[in-house]
Amino acid sequence: MIVSPSLLSADFGNLNKDLEMINSSEADWLHIDIMDGVFVPNISFGFPVLKFVQKVCKKPLDVHLMIVEPQKFIEEVKACGAEIMNVHYEACTHLDRVVQQIKAAGMKAGVTLNPATPVCMLRDIVSELDLVLLMSVNPGFGGQKFIHNTLNKVKELRKLIEETGSKALIEVDGGVNAETGAMLRDAGADVLVAGNYVFKSENPTSAISLLRNL
């Protein structure tokens, strides 16, 4: 299992310490949640913080933009060293264009679906994607309860990926812990994002290893 701990639950008063923990852990990526208070009812942090994270973090950055008009920030996200740029399906009128622009900028393109957006909406684009991020909570906050219907969506997406010959990875974000992580593995997920489960744990590095070895 690929594990992408979510920085949103880190200690922003001591980011260096948490980033060093990530560096020395088995984490594969670091998940970065950027919110604008418009697309989601919360604001997290922006590019100045991301630039600092890039300097310290040795893991690939998996950037999840919960913002309207994400196409305006492709170059900025690239300049912050992102390896993967995830945009919401619900935030892009011209999704195909945005995906092509992300790839042309030299990043992997991910498309994120809110819990109420069906997987079938990706039928005509999934073969172009490097990753699909399924939200298993309504985006905007860490520490929410896992929405169980996500398990059906993972299975459906796995089927769509096979039918279309897509190489996209299936990533799941929200309410992931050892229990929901095991269910997601069985359903066919490739990547687990975990915020609270990792950063609020007594031993974050072993929480990461546990998810990784599911």
Indicate which residues carry an active-site annotation.
33, 173
- Which CB atom, from 45 or from 141, has the smaller least distance to ligand DX5? 141
Q: Kindly tell me which of 33 and 190 has the beta carbon lying closer to Zn ion.
A: 33
Rounded Cα gap, residues 45 and 206, in angstroms: 27
Q: Choose among ligand DX5, Zn ion, none what residue 142 binds, the Cβ cut-off being 5 to 8 Å by kind.
A: ligand DX5
Query: Per rule CB under 5 A, is residue 173 in the interface with Zn ion?
Result: yes
Sorted by sequence, the CB contacts under 8 Å of residue 175 that are 6+ apart come out as: 136, 137, 144, 145, 146, 147
Nearer to Zn ion, 33 or 128 (CB): 33
Q: Is 18 in the site for Zn ion (CB under 5 A)?
A: no
Member of 64, 88, 108, 153 binding Zn ion (CB under 5 A): 64
User: Smallest distance, Å, CB 63 to ligand DX5?
Assistant: 11
Q: Give the footprint of ligand DX5 on this chain (CB under 6 A).
A: 6, 8-9, 31, 33, 64, 137, 139-144, 173-176, 193-197
Reduce the DSSP state of residue 116 to 3 states and report it.
coil
Give the number of other CB atoms < 10 A from CB of residue 16. 10
Alpha-carbon distance of 191 to 82, in angstroms, equals 17
Sheet of 191-194: strand order equals 2-5, 191-194, 169-173, 131-135, 108-113, 82-88, 61-66, 30-35
**Which residues form the interface with Zn ion (CB under 5 A)?**
33, 64, 173
